[in-house]
Structure 1
Amino acid sequence: MKDYKNILIIKMSSLGDIIHALPTLYALRKNLPNAKITWAIHEQFAGLLPGKPWVDEVIIIDKKQLKLFGYLKQLYTDLRGRHFDMTLDLQCLAKSAIVSWLSGAPEKYGYWELREGSQFVNKALVGKHQYDHVIERYLDTVRQLGGSVDTIEFPLPSDATCYQHVVDMLGSEGIQDDYVLVAPGARWTVKEWPVLSFAELCNRLCQEGRKVVLMGAKDDLGKSQSIVDAVQSNNLVNLTGKTTMPELIELIRHCSLYISADTGPLHIANGLKKPLIALFGTTSPERTGPYGGDYIHLVISPTSKATPENPLIDDPECMAQITVDQVWDVYKAL
């Protein structure tokens, strides 16, 4: 692999996509231990990135201002002044291609799926995993640049202060450890398992004596409250909307089991190699699902038509075909 000295990785969103790109960061650092690595990202996802030795610097990109000439001029001056010798665009959209072009790097690369005109800025790095899981697609960029990929690791950040805050929040609810973490929301409604199904599952867990913690973004507050109202158990704790991104990572890091449909925190759980139960139907787990070892347990809707070639199916009834009994059987087997 060429001895790059100053690399810009561009992956600005979203949560799950950034997690999928972390093994590429790991591989780059292992191949180039002395390079300076900078990551361009949207502010709300910056908490997902680890610090040194993995990432030396973070550049916050304001998506809303990318169409404004004044902002572009400022970004141009900033990026050019950093003298990058290579950009690796793992977003491959118009917005990321703009950042790649503004960088002025003499070598600009992306993974094979260049979209929205990004092919006019970046050179596609096409490997043998072109149609495999997106993690492998990203890793092919390192392979095609002559680097080695020996393992798949997710260098997620760790924060002792955030961990202590999580411990305090859980302790105030009577939870020390050994809790099941449940995320009822998802970015798109079509990916969600019905709230009533989550409520029944949580009710069974609570009746068995398990401590169950609900989590998610503020947009998920309504779903979580519906579950709390339905279950009415002291074993159920609702922390939805109460954690920052670093605290969310620590909350997931210390759970004993994670359960959700295809949503961003699922990929954090996967990156932390936590035992997890993932519910899929309208998206393809072969393309963007949890990827790794035997800690992953998938429950796939019997009516799922999602494939790696057609990874998102707009079928509002698909996820409802997963029964509580199916998920419960997987849980009991664990």
Structure 2
Amino acid sequence: MKRALIVKLGAIGDVIMTVAAVGQLHAQGYAIDWVCGPAVSGLLRCYSWINVIEADDRAVLKGSFPERVRAVGAAWKQLSATKYDLKATLYYDARWQIFTLPVRATRSLTLSHTDRNRRLLPTRPHADEFARALLGWKDTCRDVSLAPHRPDRLPPSPLPPPGARRIAMVPAGASNMVRQQTLRRWPADRYVAIARTLLERGDEVVLLGGPGDAWVREEFTELAGHPRLIDLIGKTTLPELVSTCDTCSLVLSHDTGPLHLAGLSVAPVLALFGPTDPGSFLPRRSGVRVLWGGEGFACRPCYDGQNFAPCESNGCMQSIATETVLQVMDEMLSPGLVAIEAAQ
């Protein structure tokens, strides 16, 4: 059997989009070893066909020199004895190739800003672009994008079956190990307004997010203690977050890691975008809709793959009205629409 080594340590969305591409490689008969960081290793272990090699990416980025040496040395110890048909370090930054320096491989691949075949072209779905680089797909017409590749061994949801219609929301997020990307966030007070309306209608509302999102709880103080408001922020693993979304009638999120986790679920998803291009990052499956704020803005999108514009107004996200979001949510929750999508 052919063997491939993938180096993609994080963030959550990038890893999930890469999984869709690597799944195509596995379908061609490759055994997959994957070097990743602790933040995503639990999710990747939910794919029975991925052998996870965990590396301390935080030490490499932010640790002292001895910590960096230990982290890299631990990865080398696991990798140096294996010969690969392909080793793919799916970064533009050449520094991440340090993990594969002792690895023997017939073919080596990194991303490139100058080689079109190894460059993620703007506005195109990143999952497709990763696949084009990995598999050498010809850059010709394709009318079907890769759907998110759902894990084949998810744990059960930590929640019991819903007693009412269950709606999940991701009111924070948009951060990674390097920085906060606040321009991607829809204002938290608008999530509160949506939650208030849903609770008044008798729906159940679940708040989702990671441990670093605890700050957003203060925004929901007025709703705290409501019997149908369930706070799971920082209380689930990544696989459990996917399973929780499976129990929901709808997930509302802006462009952040949990949006991609919701894309792995079976739930309908409403995604809110502004400075990033949904053409590149939106999960490509049925039941996913997008509202892209800032229509007509000459500066949209402002994310260039590394940085955002020095914007202080966040006008594109601010332009997405609460009333518009509620209207689209109601359309997506309509039994008639669900029946039509199921028939398709």
TM-score by length of 1: 0.82
Q: How does 1:110-149 map to 2 (within 5 A)?
A: 110-113=110-113, 126=117, 130-131=121-122, 132-144=124-136
Aligned to 1:315: 311
Tell me if the contact between 1:190 and 1:314 (Cα under 8 Å) persists in the aligned partners: no
CA distance in 1, matches of 2:212, 2:147: 30
Aligned to 1:5: 2
Name the amino acid aligned to 1:23.
A
Name the amino acid aligned to 1:7.
A
Name the amino acid aligned to 1:22.
V
Aligned to 2:107: 107
Structure 1 residue 176, shift from structure 2 partner: 4.2
TM-score by length of 2: 0.79
Structure 1 residue 113, shift from structure 2 partner: 4.2
Structure 1 pair 236/277, CA: closer, same or farther in 2 (3 Å)? same
Matched, 1:298 2:263: no
3-state SS, counterpart of residue 83 of structure 2: coil
CA distance in 1, matches of 2:78, 2:187: 46
Structure 1 residue 272, shift from structure 2 partner: 2.7
Tell me if the contact between 2:20 and 2:146 (Cα under 8 Å) persists in the aligned partners: yes
CA distance in 2, matches of 1:76, 1:41: 13
Aligned to 2:323: 325
CA distance in 2, matches of 1:196, 1:214: 14
3-state SS, counterpart of residue 92 of structure 1: coil
Which of 134, 154, 168 is residue 181 of structure 1 equivalent to? Answer: 168
Aligned to 1:48: 43
CA distance in 1, matches of 2:225, 2:86: 55
Structure 1 pair 196/102, CA: closer, same or farther in 2 (3 Å)? same
Tell me if the contact between 2:3 and 2:84 (Cα under 8 Å) persists in the aligned partners: yes
Tell me if the contact between 1:111 and 1:140 (Cα under 8 Å) persists in the aligned partners: no
Q: Give the 4+ runs in structure 1 shifted more than 6 A.
A: none
Structure 1 residue 22, shift from structure 2 partner: 1.1
Structure 1 pair 145/99, CA: closer, same or farther in 2 (3 Å)? farther
CA distance in 1, matches of 2:153, 2:72: 33
Moved more, 281-290 or 36-45: 281-290
CA distance in 2, matches of 1:81, 1:159: 29
3-state SS, counterpart of residue 6 of structure 1: strand
Structure 1 pair 239/78, CA: closer, same or farther in 2 (3 Å)? closer
3-state SS, counterpart of residue 109 of structure 2: strand
Which of 24, 34, 37 is residue 39 of structure 1 equivalent to? Answer: 34
Aligned to 1:59: 53
Identity rate, percent: 22
Name the amino acid aligned to 1:130.
L
Query: What is the CA deviation profile of residues 270-314 of structure 1, one whole-angstrom value per residue up to 9, with x for unaligned ones?
Result: 233531111111211122223233x12111223653338846444
CA distance in 2, matches of 1:83, 1:77: 13
Which residues of structure 2 form unaligned runs of 5+? 176-180, 333-344
Name the amino acid aligned to 2:36.
I
Query: What is the CA deviation profile of residues 24-54 of structure 1, one whole-angstrom value per residue up to 9, with x for unaligned ones?
Result: 121011111xx32100000111122145652
CA RMSD of aligned residues (A): 2.8
Tell me if the contact between 1:85 and 1:107 (Cα under 8 Å) persists in the aligned partners: yes
CA distance in 2, matches of 1:52, 1:241: 23
Matched, 1:233 2:226: yes
Q: Give aligned pairs, total.
A: 309
3-state SS, counterpart of residue 132 of structure 2: helix
3-state SS, counterpart of residue 75 of structure 1: helix
Query: What is the CA deviation profile of residues 183-238 of structure 1, one whole-angstrom value per residue up to 9, with x for unaligned ones?
Result: 10122222111111111011111111111101111222221342242476322111
CA distance in 1, matches of 2:148, 2:45: 10
Matched, 1:252 2:245: yes
